[in-house]
Structure 1
Amino acid sequence: MGALVVSSIFSGHCASSKKFETTATPVDKITLGVVVSLTGSFAGIGNDELRGAKVAEQQINAIGGVLGRPIELRIVDDASSGSIAASKLDELIGQGVVGVLGGTSNEAAIAMDPLVQADEVVVFSASATTTSVASRVGSKPFFRASPSDAQQGKGLAKLGFFGPNEVPPFCRSLSIVVADDAYGQTVVNELSAKWRSRGSALADTITMSSKLEAPTAYSDYANRIVQGMVGKDAPCQVVIGSVEVGSRYMIAFRDAATQKGLDLTKVQTLASDSLRQDSFVTRSLASPSNPRKESAAEGTFLFAASPDATNFERFRVLYQAHFPEIPSFTAAAAYDAIVLMALAIEQAQTASDPVALRTAILELTSIGDLKTFEDIKGLFATVRRGERLAYLGASQQLLFRPDGSASPDYAVYQIVNGAFVPKRVYKAGEVE
């Protein structure tokens, strides 16, 4: 599938959205690319990223666009595949696009990185967490807003040991259920190392396929974990994977625990940042042993990026003026990506030079007067006056390391009555 203009693909994947008005002719537009997962294992994240990007597009065009021209998002679906993501990115580059929001998954980001390192494009991912991009000395930055796999592994180990109230030991026995993709394996490696460094052994580690499996496979995984928990004091499990895989496992786990008489009030489930989505709650509902229709994810603790509460609430209001869904951190980060790339084009006075665009993004997120995303008109006015600013985004104040990774704050959330309730916030430096 080639690149599609926004009007065709967006209406197909986000039918709940309200219409956005456009007034310019296609020849006048500045194009930014969007290569995200609209189908496949990471579709939940990818579609939320797309919605966040669309809000930014509408806001920018409402104040006159960039360099006096409206922007247009050229959107392609990578189908949750790294190879497709790289191919679609190459197509966009061939069409003259030099600023792109994408890859949704780690595999996509890793596959796209060679084109970034070749100075052919600037890529900003709202959700990829890999440290395997821009990894060599002197590499070009691959911009990422979400916490790295390594930080998530450290955070989950900290949560498992101390719990949300910092009272150790929270988990006396820890099992891990992890998907066999680049994201899951890196998180679990860091988690395992940190857990063992405290003198604790892992009870069990089960590796699931990152692709959907037969229901019996999840039942087998769950029965093995439950069997290992029986008779243990303060048993915990960590679930790492996509919403599609994680929700199916949680349904099977609840059923297995009920059948074996395991008291779920004495068992804790911890989960990774990838499951900090409303769809994880809703897709974990269909459990035969759950007559009250309570989600099998209820009570789960998650370690995830924590946006500034005030700014994120303002973004939620802005987002829900267009979409009924509750936005995620990655929706806010996707919004920030589009705004920053548009500001960078305005500052660099070009939409065709990836080196100038990258330099401008780094300048807009470093030294200058702190300017919030809310005043979109003021942001562009500041840049047009030639003044320095430091962008305070909907997701966070983006402060990039040389490799393009950011340092967000983190929070421990618990799913309570189907909602993600924050229990504790950590600054980035506290998660070690």
Structure 2
Amino acid sequence: VPGAGAAEAIRIGFHAPLTGFAAGDGKSARLGAELAVEQINAAGGVLGRPLELVTYDDQAKPDQAVPVANKLLGEGIVAAISGSYSGATRAAAAVFQQAGVPYVSAYAIHPDITRTGDYVFRTASMGEVQGRGGAKLIGEILGQKRVVLITLDNDFGQSLARGFKEKAGAFGIEIVNEYTYGIKERQFGAIVASVKRDAPEAIYASGYFFTAGPLVSQLRAGGVRATIVGQEGYDSQNFIDIAKAAAEGVLITTALDRDSDRPEVRDFIGAFEKKAGFPADMVAASTYTAVQVLAHAIGQAGGTDGKAVRDALAATRDFPTAIGPVTFNALGEIYKPIQVQVVKDGRFRHFAVIDDPVLLAPPAE
């Protein structure tokens, strides 16, 4: 665009796990954010100025996220986006809130993130909300009542399990047992043996692709035939690549519907795979959305003043994105239907959608 390059760039801070255990998600996060910036700039930028993404690696660690947030503040950013997990995002949120810099958590789900303050927003459904959706999927949509929980013992896993337990009874679910495991665990023999004895109809298992891949493989290899329901932590081609044939038939609650016919979803999925060389996932869709929502708010604010951008974010209503229309409530949370995807022939495909504004309502305070 003639002239857009000459105008001073609007700098957006971005942190994600580019190295370490979560680097697979960090890569998707970075590529999703970069794609949004490229598309916005190709269309003339925001207020006639190009966007520039200033990216730092936080290794998904809280003790890295704080110095990274401070470094970003020193880079002259007008707003920031987390492309990271809950621990790192909670830590960084406090820094940006104190500095009066608008901050959007793309896919971290811990409830405390938005409660940090009025400059913090989230484009994901919080963990408890996703857990409630999981209970409806198993108890009502699948009609399965005997359930075992396998819970990752961190912010992510615990918040999902809390939401599931909160609504299990409402859907006639009996929780037969719950097992917890640590994020570094990859050998699940003891849990598999116990689950086999429990003989559940369904397993609600939280985890990220690098824990879920081995867990699902070992459950199936151990002869456990129960329905396995995961959630957005599984939402990566990496999960399918690790679990291979064992991934077939696994259901996940997530934010991205691969079979949507909505143009903003189709355009994103096609453009992302072309850029990345691998299929779009929930993480990429969420960071892509976070950049778009932020760019829209800067445009609405008519400038880069922190408070004006914050107010414009808070006023976002029905903004169309790859993960559905975005409207923020008083806490900076969004309501969106939960997409249920199933692994079929090595790809995630549409299975169902849970559109239940009462069940899935985020808290407003």
Aligned to 2:329: 401
Runs of at least 5 residues in structure 2 that lack an aligned partner in the other structure? 361-365
- Give aligned pairs, total: 355
Q: What CA distance in whole angstroms lies between the structure 1 residues aligned with 2:47 and 2:168?
A: 52
Aligned to 1:12: none
Q: 8 Å contact 1:268–1:300 — kept in the other structure?
A: yes
Q: 8 Å contact 1:146–1:330 — kept in the other structure?
A: no
Kindly indicate whether residue 252 of structure 2 is the aligned counterpart of residue 282 of structure 1. Answer: no
Q: What CA distance in whole angstroms lies between the structure 2 residues aligned with 1:301 and 1:97?
A: 39
Matches within 5 A, 1:40-119: 40-119=20-99
What amino acid does structure 1 have at the position aligned with 2:131?
G
Matches within 5 A, 1:109-188: 109-135=89-115, 139-164=117-142, 168=143, 170-171=144-145, 173-188=146-161
| TM-score computed with the length of structure 2 as normaliser | 0.89
Aligned to 1:421: 349
Shift of 1:181: 0.7
Matches within 5 A, 1:127-276: 127-135=107-115, 139-164=117-142, 168=143, 170-171=144-145, 173-197=146-170, 200-210=173-183, 212-213=184-185, 215=186, 217-229=187-199, 235-257=201-223, 264=225, 267-276=226-235
What amino acid does structure 1 have at the position aligned with 2:284?
A
Shift of 1:207: 0.7
Kindly indicate whether residue 253 of structure 2 is the aligned counterpart of residue 303 of structure 1. Answer: yes
Q: 8 Å contact 1:119–1:355 — kept in the other structure?
A: no
Aligned to 1:327: 280
Q: What CA distance in whole angstroms lies between the structure 1 residues aligned with 2:137 and 2:54?
A: 40
| TM-score computed with the length of structure 1 as normaliser | 0.76
Equivalent position SS for 1:322: helix
* CA pair 395-84 structure 1, distance change in 2 beyond 3 A: same
* CA pair 309-78 structure 1, distance change in 2 beyond 3 A: farther
Q: What CA distance in whole angstroms lies between the structure 1 residues aligned with 2:350 and 2:30?
A: 25
Q: What CA distance in whole angstroms lies between the structure 1 residues aligned with 2:173 and 2:322?
A: 39
Of the two, which has the highest radius of gyration? 1
Q: What CA distance in whole angstroms lies between the structure 2 residues aligned with 1:298 and 1:322?
A: 27
Q: 8 Å contact 1:407–1:428 — kept in the other structure?
A: no
What amino acid does structure 2 have at the position aligned with 1:206?
Y
**Quick one: percent identity of the two aligned structures?**
24
Structural RMSD (CA): 2.4
Q: What CA distance in whole angstroms lies between the structure 2 residues aligned with 1:134 and 1:116?
A: 12
Kindly indicate whether residue 319 of structure 2 is the aligned counterpart of residue 391 of structure 1. Answer: yes
The answer to which of 94-103 and 242-251 deviates more is 94-103
Q: Deviations over 1:406-427 (max 9, x none)?
A: 1111122221221222121121
Alignment counterpart, residue 269 of structure 2, candidates 293, 310, 316:
316
Q: What CA distance in whole angstroms lies between the structure 1 residues aligned with 2:173 and 2:32?
A: 41
Shift of 1:154: 0.7
Equivalent position SS for 2:114: coil
Q: 8 Å contact 2:130–2:338 — kept in the other structure?
A: no
* CA pair 274-340 structure 1, distance change in 2 beyond 3 A: same
Aligned to 1:35: 15
Q: What CA distance in whole angstroms lies between the structure 2 residues aligned with 1:145 and 1:420?
A: 21
Q: What CA distance in whole angstroms lies between the structure 2 residues aligned with 1:71 and 1:412?
A: 33
Shift of 1:176: 1.0
Q: Deviations over 1:328-381 (max 9, x none)?
A: 233223222222323333343433x32111112233x22xxxxxxxxxxxxxxx
Shift of 1:428: 4.0
The answer to which of 309-318 and 59-68 deviates more is 59-68
